[in-house]
Structure 1
Amino acid sequence: MADKKEIILIRHGETEWNKVRKYQGHMDIELNDWGRQQAGEAAKELANLDIDYFASSDLKRARETAEIIASFHNNNIKEFKELREMNFGEWEGKGFKEIKNDYPEDFQKWIEDPIKFSPPAGETLKEFQDRVLEGFNTILENGFDRNAIVTHGGVIMVFLATILEMPLINYRKFEVANTGITRVNLYDNSYVLKEFNSQSHMK
């Protein structure tokens, strides 16, 4: 029988910048009150699971979400810089229309080929993917059976595009809600998507 590991991916709760649709990237924005409530509901949803290992991005919005969820399990949380959101460089703190107006050429190049082009002072999609996979590989090498990873929408999207063997640029075809729960099973070296972006805890 194949060796099985389970990966539970949770996007962080809402921030004020999420509400106004600003690019956050590496900016260390904390949860708002609704985001904390979302995290509490996700924690209840996962409370009855035996989770062996908790990992989180080291940014406040992910770390605080992880702390709320892990409090139901008395688990320590290991923080990883590799699990941060994509680095949007000069675009962080700005909205879509503002970026499109202020950086028209850079924005168009990035939209058409984010694998090759990055936001000014940011990282390319390929650089982002390499960083994210390094973090996931470190976590999975620990050998725990059930791993909860609290991170960012872009991280989850890129990880799923990779394990499902999609063209990387198609990562944009995923949409991950705040505290959306995604489950992936790993059988030896084969990934299977079990559940995507569940928000049943918010109903």
Structure 2
Amino acid sequence: MKLLLARHGETDWNARGQIQGQSDPGLNETGRAQARALARRLEETGVPLRRLYTSPQKRSAETAAIVGACLGIEAEAVEGLREICFGVWEGHCWEEIAALWPHSYEAYAADRLRSRPPEGESYAELLERVLPALRKIAAGEGSALVVAHSAVIKAVLCHLDGADFRQINRLYPLGNADWVSLDGDRFL
């Protein structure tokens, strides 16, 4: 059984380089086109997707709705798939964050797994809710598509591979509407 983890389509915040976290912007026109293209690419893989899950946040839910309409599958929202909370950093780009919160940014850069942005959550905390959600999804029948967020997918990959979270963005580049395919047994 395959578990495909797809990132949502583009938002205006993505286009401007702003950190979204648990802020809730919807897709822009580019993001909607990316979602339609994602559905076409998924059809071309030949993986028989039987189930579709999504983060409840607008950008993921809208991506999943577009993909689901194309594939004839209804999406189910899963609370545990929400994006990481970046707290007061949300709405800012990384350069602004480094300038406005230099000490917390340095701590975060040194230990992304355990350090948290001010009023935010760590990757360890993110994994505490994401991994049980994915285990439940992986226990179902047939292959599934999960539409979620960049930090969610990268954190899962980093965890499964035992990689250094400080290297998360270098090791796991993931554009809007890109996906990774995993063996569902890795979650059971």
> Normalising by structure 2, what TM-score?
0.92
Give 1:36's aligned amino acid: R
In the other structure, the counterpart of 2:155 is: 158
Assess, with a 3 A threshold, how the Cα gap between structure 1 residues 122 and 72 changes in structure 2: closer, same or farther.
same
CA distance in 2, matches of 1:169, 1:135: 24
Aligned partner of 1:26 in structure 2 is: 22
| TM score, norm. by length of structure 1 | 0.85
8 Å CA contact 2:11, 2:27 repeated in 1: yes
- 2:2 maps to a residue whose letter is E
Tell me how far 1:183 sits from its aligned partner: 1.0
Q: How does 1:76-95 map to 2 (within 5 A)?
A: 76-95=74-93
Equivalent residue for 1:46? 42
Shift, 1:49, TM fit? 4.3
Determine the C-alpha separation between the residues in 2 that align with 1:104 and 1:92: 15
The share of aligned pairs that are identical, in percent, is 30
Q: Structure 1 stretches of 5 or more lacking a match?
A: 192-203
| Aligned counterparts of 1:86 and 1:109: Cα–Cα separation in 2 | 17
Which stretch shows the higher mean deviation, 177-186 or 34-43? Answer: 177-186
* Deviation (angstroms), 1:181: 2.0
Q: Could you say if the C-alpha distance between residues 53 and 190 of structure 1 is closer, same or farther in structure 2, counting changes exceeding 3 Å?
A: closer
Q: What is the letter of the counterpart of residue 139 of structure 1?
A: I
* Aligned match of 1:146: 143
Matching residue of 1:11: 7
State the 1:87 CA deviation: 0.4
Equivalent position amino acid for 1:131 in 2: R
Normalized per residue, the structure richer in helix is 2
SS at match of 1:55: strand
Deviations 1:152-192 (A, max 9, x none): 11111111112223234432321100011211123x4589x
Cα distance in structure 1, aligned partners of 2:156 and 2:105: 23
Task: Pick closer, same or farther for the CA change 1:165–1:15 going to 2, 3 Å.
Answer: same
Cα distance change on mapping 1:189 and 1:10 into 2, 3 Å: closer
- In 1, the alpha carbon distance for the partners of 2:178 and 2:157 equals 14
Larger strand share, 1 or 2: 1
Q: Alignment length, in residue pairs?
A: 185
Q: In structure 2, what is the equivalent of residue 196 of structure 1?
A: none
Q: 1:53 and 1:97, CA in 2 relative to 1: closer, same or farther beyond 3 A?
A: same
1:174 aligns with 2:172: yes
Note the alpha carbon deviations across 1:84-111, whole angstroms, 9 max, x for none.
1110001001111211111111111111
Superposed CA deviations along residues 58-92 of structure 1, whole A, max 9, x for unmatched, are 00000100011111232221111211111000100
Give the conservation status (yes or no) of the 8 Å contact 2:36–2:70: no
1:1-48, CA deviations, whole angstroms, 9 ceiling, x for partnerless residues? Answer: xxxx10111110001000111010000110000010011111112236
1:146, distance to aligned residue in structure 2 (A): 0.5
Unaligned segments of structure 2, at least 5 residues: none
> Which secondary structure does the structure 1 equivalent of 2:71 belong to?
coil
Provide Cα deviations, 1:135-155, integer angstroms capped at 9, x if missing partner: 1112112x2220101011111
